[in-house]
């Protein structure tokens, strides 16, 4: 029996998680939904975002009847996993800042977390720091611009080095002769910019991308039943717009085709 996964993000950044899931579960049917009608999530107030994501994911579950749901978005996962789990018995796998592995990895004791403002301010994120990074200095670096810059880069548009550098520079700390050595990519859009970050970094750091660990978790939760079949699936934009042509190779590599008919969802009530 085939396994159907719903992979959901505010935009196209969650494809960084989808490509790792595809490696772990080559035979799964993957439905990728980018909520571009409501993108970016990073600056939405918590309550409005939670209500919007829970309602949207509920409609998508109704339409696609997935076996498991992956919320491939830190900004949403740090808020909506409890209400979704309360409403549905399906397995939900979330994406939350990889603070624990970063705290285990750092040698200098200086870790930065690059995230949206929403993720940066969440109690959930602060809880992870208190629980797993007590002996480490963690700097939370929130950005409103980096996810939209990643989307522009993914669409093949020119993105200035200076614009990217301005967002990542605060992640580089020097203190008592020590330097930040570990930076958590706590937004699923950022792995698509990591080569640009590498080229711009003032000194060497380890970029922590949790996508492979999330994919392993999805494989554990969902089981390996689908591995015998070829990759299949569909990708949707909640705005109903067409997929940017620059993303065609990435979608093809995932074995997903632009979905038809387009989704018809109520327009987001952006506050």
State the catalytic residues: 73, 187
Q: Does 209 bind ligand DGL (CB under 6 A)?
A: no
**Distance of alpha carbon 263 from alpha carbon 24, whole angstroms:** 27
DSSP E strand boundaries for 61-218:
68-71, 92-93, 110-115, 137-142, 174-175, 178-179, 182-185, 206-208
3-state secondary structure of 144: coil
- Smallest separation, CB 148 to ligand DGL (Å): 8
- Smallest separation, CB 13 to ligand DGL (Å): 4
Q: Does 189 bind ligand DGL (CB under 6 A)?
A: yes
3-state secondary structure of 111: strand
- For the record, the structure tokens of 130 come out as 């208190």
Q: Does 42 bind ligand DGL (CB under 6 A)?
A: yes
Q: Does 188 bind ligand DGL (CB under 6 A)?
A: yes
Q: Does 207 bind ligand DGL (CB under 6 A)?
A: no
Of the candidate spans 34-42, 52-60, 100-108, 248-256, the one that interacts with ligand DGL by CB under 6 A turns out to be: 34-42
**Scanning residues 126 to 155, which ones bind ligand DGL (CB under 6 A)?**
147
Nearest Cα residue to 154 out of 193, 183, 106: 193
Q: Are 101 and 208 in contact (CB under 8 A)?
A: yes
Q: Which long-range contacts link 77-81 to residues 24+ away (Cβ below 8 Å)? A: 78/118, 78/119, 78/122, 78/124, 78/125, 79/46, 79/49, 79/50, 79/53, 79/118, 79/122, 79/124, 80/49, 80/50, 80/53, 80/54
Q: Does 11 bind ligand DGL (CB under 6 A)?
A: yes
Using CB under 6 A, count the residues that bind ligand DGL: 18
Of the candidate spans 4-12, 106-114, 134-142, 218-226, the one that interacts with ligand DGL by CB under 6 A turns out to be: 4-12
Q: Does 52 bind ligand DGL (CB under 6 A)?
A: no
Rg (CA), the chain: 18
- Smallest separation, CB 66 to ligand DGL (Å): 19
Q: Does 40 bind ligand DGL (CB under 6 A)?
A: yes
Q: Does 122 bind ligand DGL (CB under 6 A)?
A: no
Q: Which residues bind ligand DGL (CB under 6 A)?
A: 9-11, 13-14, 39-42, 73-75, 116, 119, 147, 187-189
């Amino acid at each position: 029996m085939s396994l159907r996964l719903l992979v959901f993000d505010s935009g196209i950044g969650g494809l960084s998680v989808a490509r790792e899931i595809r490696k772990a579960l080559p035979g799964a049917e993957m439905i990728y939904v980018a909520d571009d009608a409501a993108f970016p999530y990073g600056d939405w107030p918590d309550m409005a975002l939670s209500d919007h994501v829970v309602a949207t994911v509920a409609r998508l579950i109704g339409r696609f009847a997935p076996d498991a749901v992956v919320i491939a978005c830190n900004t949403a996962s740090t808020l909506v996993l409890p209400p979704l789990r309360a409403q549905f018995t399906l397995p939900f796998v979330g994406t939350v800042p990889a603070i624990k592995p970063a705290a285990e990895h750092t040698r200098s004791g200086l870790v930065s977390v690059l995230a949206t403002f929403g993720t940066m301010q969440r109690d959930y994120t602060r809880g992870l720091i208190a629980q797993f990074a007590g002996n480490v200095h963690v700097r939370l670096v929130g950005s409103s611009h980096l996810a939209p810059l990643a989307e522009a880069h993914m669409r093949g548009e020119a993105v200035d080095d200076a614009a990217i550098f301005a967002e990542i520079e605060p992640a580089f700390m020097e203190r008592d002769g020590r330097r930040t050595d570990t930076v958590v990519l706590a937004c699923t859009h950022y792995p698509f910019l990591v080569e640009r970050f590498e080229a711009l970094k003032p000194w060497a750091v380890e970029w922590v991308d949790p996508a492979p660990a999330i994919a392993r978790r999805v494989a554990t939760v969902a089981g390996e039943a689908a591995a015998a079949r070829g990759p299949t699936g569909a990708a949707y934009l909640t705005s109903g717009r067409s997929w940017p042509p620059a993303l065609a190779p990435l979608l093809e590599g995932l074995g997903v085709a632009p979905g038809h008919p387009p989704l018809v969802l109520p327009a987001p009530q952006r506050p």
